[in-house]
Amino acid sequence: KTVLVTGGSGFVAAHILNSFLSRGYNVKTTVRSDSSAEKIKKSHAKYLSQISFAIVPDVATPGGHDEAVKGVDGVIHTASPFQMKVENNERDLLDPAIKGTMSVLTSIQNHAPNVKRVIITSSFASIIDMNKNPRPGYTYTENDWNPVTYEEAASSSASGEIAYLASKTLAERAAWDFVAKNKPNFQLATICPPMVYGPAFHTISSLEHLNTSSADIYRLMNGSEKAVPKTQYYAFCDVRDVGEAHVRAYETHESAGQRYFCTAGGYTYQQVCDIIREDFPEKKALVPEGEAGDPVDRYKVDNSKIKKELGMTFKDLKTCIDDQVREFIEIEKRA
């Protein structure tokens, strides 16, 4: 069986690739360039005979995935920009996310009759309502939808962060609308992770150009933060668990038509700093100390659906951060 994973070069995608490859699937993955394909071959060298590539230079082009989807049995759509600082919200975030999702789904419908399951990597971005932050007393589940609109996100005053949240929300909504309207051959499920941390599976070429969520941890240990920053999103998931959730959703019949909030639970940057200071004494002087305790009364998150329906268990924050920080230290030593 062959699955297509879009955007195989990413931090999350590398773990999705590993989850499918280690279970024996053949994986075709889209990349924007040959050099990305070469990097993926290096990090997944163990499974070289199971990997193939399709070059899709622009994720948003209508028909751009027509060739890539041919002959596959399932599709995992994960390629989407995760950046909070961009020049143009529409061009750099909204278009690739929303039009990219439409391009993938339309190509499947027109050219891949064998595809029965499609899994989309969505996000807690499509669940949370930032206007109500930190929403004490509330518990987010997959029944919640971020109410952000395209107009808000595209306006010149909108931050890149709002545009990113909107790009994920509107892309996921567009996917569900596509399925409702077109009644395609395939069944859809979406995976919604919050901040994703943990060790990389892809090759990190430079600690200066980390993916957004890895950089979010590295800044807490490289001396660039003098005080513990205010936590932006009070929920996390280990990247290894996010990879596993995709393959479980793909293989579980009952996931058809479902959305899954893929989170290990709540966390704060203070907790991350405490873990690094305690477990890596050599870094202690670079990590802000902050204050003991947890002053902000905030929302909770509920992962009971994904545990029950996909049988997921989640790595805790200490394991996740320890493994990621250990990797950063090794890379620093090599540099």
Residues forming contacts to ligand NDP in the complex (CB under 6 A) are 7, 9-13, 32, 36, 59, 78-82, 96, 121, 123, 168, 193, 195-196, 211, 213
In the complex, minimum distance from the CB of residue 308 to ligand NDP, in angstroms, rounded to a whole number: 21
- DSSP, collapsed to helix, strand or coil, labels residue 331 as helix
Q: Residue 16 or residue 221: which is nearer to ligand NDP going by CB?
A: 16
Q: 32 or 284: whose CB is closer to ligand NDP?
A: 32
Please provide the DSSP assignment of 55-74 as one string.
E-S-TTSTTTTHHHHTT-SE
In the residue annotation, 230 being an active-site residue is answered as no
Pick the catalytic residue: 28, 39, 168, 315? Answer: 168
- Least Å from the CB of residue 291 to ligand NDP: 26
Kindly tell me which of 28 and 168 has the beta carbon lying closer to ligand NDP: 168
Task: Quote the least distance from Cβ 292 to ligand NDP, whole Å.
Answer: 27
What gap in Å lies between CA 193 and CA 124, rounded to an integer? 5
Q: Choose between 18 and 78: whose C-beta lies nearer to ligand NDP.
A: 78
Q: With the C-alpha atoms ordered 34, 42, 22, 257, is the resulting torsion angle positive or negative? A: negative
- Least CB distance from residue 12 to ligand NDP, whole Å? 4
Q: DSSP character for 148?
A: -
C-alpha 122/C-alpha 189 separation (Å) is: 10
Helix (H, G, I), strand (E, B) or coil at 240: helix
Instruction: Give the nearest distance from C-beta 322 to ligand NDP in angstroms.
Output: 18
DSSP 229: P
Tokens at 141, concatenated: 């589940």
Closest separation between CB of residue 84 and ligand NDP, Å? 11
| Phi, psi of 153, rounded to the nearest 5 degrees | -70, -30
**Cα–Cα distance measured from residue 99 to residue 38, given in angstroms and rounded to the nearest whole number:** 27
Q: Which stretches of 183-238 are DSSP H helices?
A: 212-218
The DSSP output letter for 77 is E
Q: Which of 82, 185, 87 minimizes the C-alpha distance to 124?
A: 82
Question: Given the complex with ligand NDP, which of 255 and 263 has the nearer CB atom?
Answer: 263
Find out whether 108 and 115 touch, Cβ atoms under 8 Å: yes
Block residue for tokens 């193939």: 52
Alpha carbon distance 53, 140 (integer Å): 37
Using Cβ positions, the residue closest to ligand NDP within the complex turns out to be: 10
| Cα separation, 249 vs 237, whole angstroms | 16
Please identify, using beta-carbon distances, which residue of 41 and 289 lies nearer to ligand NDP.
41
Residues catalogued as catalytic: 168
